[in-house]
Structure 1
Amino acid sequence: MRPRVKYTVICRHKNEYPVSVMCRFFQVSRSGYYDFVHRLGRPEKDAALAEIIAEQREHSFRTYGYRRMWLVLKKRGTHRNPKTILRIMEKYGLLAEIRRRRKWGNLGQQAHQYENLLDRRFHADRPNSKWVTDISYIHTRQGMLYLSMIRDLYDNSIAA
């Protein structure tokens, strides 16, 4: 059990039992306990920097790791050691969300494989003779959006 947890338990029960007895029981020093109590009243020294990091994290869509965050803060005039930035980001849960590349792999056997009718001839002599389709994936904060359209190659108009 971490000393911080032990100190919290001692602090909760200090009115019921003597502090020195509880410190002996938990095998922690009394000076460490009183130092912990003294720190409780003080504001967190990293809180202001953590707020700035959290703000920048939202601007970067939670993709910046500690190195890029360090560079951004440095450009803004906040000079800290990169390891300090890493420690604060770990402490407050502000590390980048790692986006893994999606593995498409083999999605199963297709029932029928169609032949290539266009054969890279993307010019049409009359309307509605050659249609092509395309799917675009749009990443947003709410999730993935899909844009699918059918185009007429004669005049590049959208058929559907």
Structure 2
Amino acid sequence: QQRLKEKGIIQSMSRKGNCIDNCIMESFFGIMKNEMFYGHESEFKTFDQFKNEVADYIDYYNNKRIKSKTKWMPPSKFREASMLVL
């Protein structure tokens, strides 16, 4: 926790014994690990390379990856379309 504090990172945790508090992020990280990490672990030669790949994946997930739940649009486009309706 001290190292996180030194780096200016705020640690956030859900309530003890309540996994539902963070189910959306848990789902995202599960998808990310399945799609870009598992089976590719040896491809990451440095931590910086891994960090860049994670940033690229987050961009892909938010701006390019389509899902039926978002009417076959990437999440960013779905949010934009939803805001127009309001």
TM-score, normalising length: structure 2:
0.28
Tell me which protein shows more strand as a share of its residues.
Answer: 1
> Larger Cα Rg: Structure 1 or Structure 2?
1
Quick check: which one's helix share is greater? Answer: 2
